Amino acid sequence: MIDVVNLSVQFTGIPLFENVNFKINKGDKISLVGANGSGKSTLLKIIKGIEQPETGNVLTQKGIRIGYLPQEYFNSKQNLLFQEVRDSLDFIVELETRENELNKLLTGSTGEVHEKYLNELGEIHHKKELENYYSIDAEIKKVLLGLGFKEEDFSRKISEFSGGWIMRIELAKILLGKNDLLLLDEPTNHLDIDSLLWLEDFLSSYRGAILLVSHDKNFVNKITDKTLEIFNKKINFFKGNYDKYLIYKAERDKQLEAERNSKLQKIKDTQKFIERFRYKASKAKQVQSRIKMLEKMEVEEIESDEKEIKIRFPAPPRSGVVPVELKNVSKSFGEKLVFENVNLIIERGDKIAFVGPNGAGKTTLSRIIGQKLEPTSGEIIYGHNTVISFFSQETTDDLDLDSDIISLIYNAGKDLTLGQARSLLGAFLFSDEDVFKKIKVLSGGEKARTALAKLLLTEANLIILDEPTNHLDYKSKKVLQEALQNFDGTLIIVSHDIDFLEPIVNKVVDIRDHKIKEYVGGIDYYLQKHFEVIEQPSKANNKKENTRKDTKRKEAELRQEKYKLTKPIIKKIESLESQIENLENEKIELESKLADESVYSVPEKLKETNLRYTTVKDEIDELTLKWAELNDELEEINSRFEI
């Protein structure tokens, strides 16, 4: 179907890949992987014919249709959504156009010509049957609904939709286009969990071939069964999905490193020999031979994931047992209601995913909690010593535009060395001279990665992240994921990336239809409960999977039991913290009065104030003791239910 022959591509004079060869056959489901900047997106564009290689060819079987989804696309048309998608289907438009032409020609024709037009019209009707023409509108509706559009959106103008929805429109066109090959560059970036799972199902049963670039490992594993890797300017082919490729890659990298170390040792030994016998006449011939040998020795730099980088957040200050509580919170934009009467208690140590359809209010709720947006009504109560750090794609506006990246990160970290700052930036895809770029010249994605790297140095105890993985590769996602797993504070993440969320979160808040529903359990538990679909894999192949699901179910049950036991204790602790805070404020006021001459110079006032001061101190001590006992009880329950 597609033959790539001796392909070479350069970027600003630097080779991306050289003399590569591979085939894409009918029905192949292939993941395209490689380091950031290795040329994955470029290769997709070359196969589509958008860009040209320096040398080599892409041989395409005659008549095949290729659909291409770029990472970004702009469309400001005034067409209505449904009609825009329908008009993009060339096979439908061509049939309708020719049918209309033939109907016009028939009215003015006679004899053999008339018969000829009638025959062609019959062929058109036959082609309509073959192309499922009469069910195409139903198919368009099904795909648009699957991608998260509502029926009332069908009659909206394209120009009314935001960038993320524009990408869904382009994706719908490609999925409906009866393409023999889909070239998909990060198709999940603008999806929510519902539409992502729908797309996963759609592509899993897609009859055409797929070449997929995605940093969503879970998504890639479900869809692909072959892997193309761009590595050291070559392309390697593997049978198996991404997980199987990683097993091979680990072995390959280990072998390459051993070979490289062996070569380095040989060079070192040769250099030693030359230095030792350089001035001995009896060894002159051997020395010259070794010098020539040394000149021919080359040690190639190996692309690798470098050292495994582990980042830990600084120890956050301890917050109250309930850092944030929402009481009857509602939000509207003009006449548009987003959600109403939201009640939510966020406990210290919670790691919560906000999920739900796009536009349901995930980002809005996170911004309200993060003090970036005011609610229309309701109350947000922040607990004792709650310190918030907030990240979204718009957070980049707060970066110092005149600073360079390395200075920004170095100055943000307490006791951070320049080497540590460079390692951290390397984990977020900045290397070599990149770290000296000014913030003002960075792309949106680069600014987002810089803001995330800076966030890892925060001393907040409540971190809120809105779609943090959109501009990350596998490596930087893993660095962020491990840091968040080990974070000792409270966490809220708005994300559709199931693989990223799975080891981090212990609660899920689903936001849809103007309300929220809380799930005490991980993302797998949420998916099982929300979609009411528990896969029943075959006994022969999936004992391990069943065991994993049983474990997840038991973990969720334990969390539910823990929640029931801890909820009343948390309420009492919260009440005590409020009382203690009020008494502490009164104590400060009384101390101020005792230092006031108008009080201490009047014996009666002094006696009354002293008496109240003693009472307040005693009450604080008594309540603090109760608070400590309840915290000990809470810690004991938490340790009992550690999973």
The rounded distance, in Å, linking the Cα atoms of 76 and 161 is: 9
Angle at the Cα of 503 (from 542 to 387), degrees rounded to 5? 165
Encode pLDDT of 452-477 as tens digits: 888 888 889 999 999 988 878 888 88
**Residue 75 CB burial class (10 angstroms; 0-12, 13-18, ≥19):** middle
Flag whether 505 is in a domain: yes
Which pLDDT band, with edges at 50, 70 and 90, does 546 fall under? low
Across the range 101-126, mean pLDDT stands at: 82
- Mean pLDDT taken over the chain: 85
Tokens of 240: 């198996």
* Residue from 300, 378, 350, 259 nearest 562 by CA: 350
Is 90 exceeded by the pLDDT of residue 176?
A: yes
Please report whether residue 235 resides in a domain.
no
- 17 pLDDT band, cuts 50/70/90, is confident
pLDDT (average), residues 340-368: 93
Q: Are 155 and 80 in contact (CB under 8 A)?
A: yes
Is residue 149 over pLDDT 90? Answer: yes
Contact 546, 391 (CB under 8 A): no
574 to 361, 386, 571, 587, 620: CA distances (angstroms): 28, 13, 5, 20, 15
Instruction: Work out the percent of the chain whose per-residue pLDDT is above 70.
Output: 92
Asked if residue 474 and residue 435 are part of one domain, the reply reads: yes
Confidence label for 44 from pLDDT (cuts 50, 70 and 90): very high
Q: How far apart are CA 543 and CA 549, in angstroms?
A: 10
Q: Which residue has the higher pLDDT, 108 or 332?
A: 332
pLDDT at position 209: 95
Please report the pLDDT score of residue 624 as a whole number.
84
User: What DSSP character marks residue 623?
Assistant: H
Q: Looking at residue 301, what is its pLDDT?
A: 61
Residue 437's CB is within 10 A of a number of other CB atoms, namely 15
Q: Which amino acid makes up residue 333?
A: F
d(CA 178, CA 208): 8
pLDDT of 550:
65
Residue 331 pLDDT > 80: yes
Residues 437 and 488 in one domain: yes
Whether 306 has a pLDDT exceeding 50, the answer reads no
- Smallest Cα–Cα separation from 47: which of 26, 23, 63? 23
pLDDT of residue 548: 56
pLDDT of 535 > 50? The answer is no
User: Whole-angstrom Cα distance, residue 225 to residue 206?
Assistant: 13
Q: What is the dihedral angle through the alpha carbons of 535, 560, 351, 328, rounded to the nearest 10 degrees?
A: 110
Q: Quick one: 408 and 492 in the same domain? A: yes
Whole-number pLDDT of residue 539: 43
C-alpha distances (whole Å) from 435 to each of 98, 408, 428, 442, 447 are 58, 10, 11, 11, 12
Does 428 share its domain with 290?
Answer: no
What pLDDT does 536 receive? 44
Assess whether 292 and 421 both reside in one domain.
no
pLDDT bucket at 229, cuts 50 / 70 / 90? very high
Mean pLDDT of 362-390: 94
Statement to judge: residues 328 and 413 lie in one domain: yes
Question: Residue 193 and residue 220: Cα distance in Å, rounded?
Answer: 15
Q: Name the domain boundary from 162, 177, 192.
A: 177
- Does the pLDDT at position 419 exceed 80? yes
Q: What is the mean pLDDT of residues 490-505?
A: 93
Quick count: other Cβ atoms within 10 Å of Cβ 549? 17
Whether the per-residue pLDDT at 77 is higher than 80: the answer is no
| Number of structural domains found in the chain | 4
- The answer to whether residue 433 sits within a structural domain is yes
Query: Rounded to a whole number, what is the distance in angstroms from the first to the last CA of the chain?
Result: 50
Indicate the length of the chain as a whole number: 643
Whether the per-residue pLDDT at 299 is higher than 70: the answer is no
Residue 349 and residue 334: Cα distance in Å, rounded? 35
> 586 lies in a domain?
yes
Q: Under 8 Å CB-to-CB from 407, ≥6 apart: which residues?
A: none
pLDDT value at position 422? 86
Q: Is the model's pLDDT at 106 over the cut of 50?
A: yes
pLDDT at 556 exceeding the cut of 70: no
Report the CATH number that the domain containing residue 498 is assigned in CATH: 3.40.50.300
The pLDDT of residue 500:
92
Paired tokens of 58:
């892409």
The reply to whether 41 falls in a domain is no
3-state secondary structure 196-241: HHHHHHHHHCCCCEEEEECCCHHHHHHHCCEEEEEECCEEEEEECC
Question: Are 460 and 348 in a shared domain?
Answer: yes
* Token code pair at residue 207: 């009859």
Who contacts 275 (Cβ-Cβ below 8 Å, separation ≥6)? Answer: none
Max CA pair span of the chain: 125
Domain-terminating residue out of 149, 177, 205: 177
Residue 164 in tokens: 């993320």
| Co-location of 509 and 383 in the same domain | yes
Distance (Å, whole) CA 225 – CA 227: 7
Question: Which position has the higher pLDDT, 611 or 38?
Answer: 611
User: What's the predicted TM-score (pTM) here?
Assistant: 0.73
Phi and psi at residue 248, to the nearest 5°: -60, -45
CB distance 230 to 32 below 8 Å? yes
How do beta strands 234-239 and 55-60 pair?
unpaired
Minimum mean pLDDT range among 26-35, 386-395, 544-553, 565-574: 544-553
14 within domain boundaries: no
Residue 168, pLDDT above cutoff 90: yes
The CATH number of the domain holding residue 574 is 1.10.287
Judgement on whether residues 339 and 475 belong to the same structural domain of the protein = yes
Give me the mean pLDDT over the 491-519 stretch: 93
CB 68 within 8 A of CB 208: no
Domain span at residue 511 reads 324-523
284 and 381 share one domain? no
Sole residue written with tokens 């051993």: 258
Residue 449 lies in a domain: yes
pLDDT at 631 over 50: yes
The residues with which 220 forms a beta bridge, in sequence order, are none
Q: Does the pLDDT at position 161 exceed 50?
A: yes
Q: Please say if the pLDDT value at position 215 is more than 60.
A: yes
393 and 356: one domain? yes
At 553 the pLDDT is 62
359 and 491 in a single domain? The answer is yes
Least confident of 124-133, 172-181, 356-365, 513-522: 124-133
**Is 487 in a helix, a strand, or coil?**
coil
Residue 122 belongs to a domain: yes
Beta bridge partners of 2: 24, 60
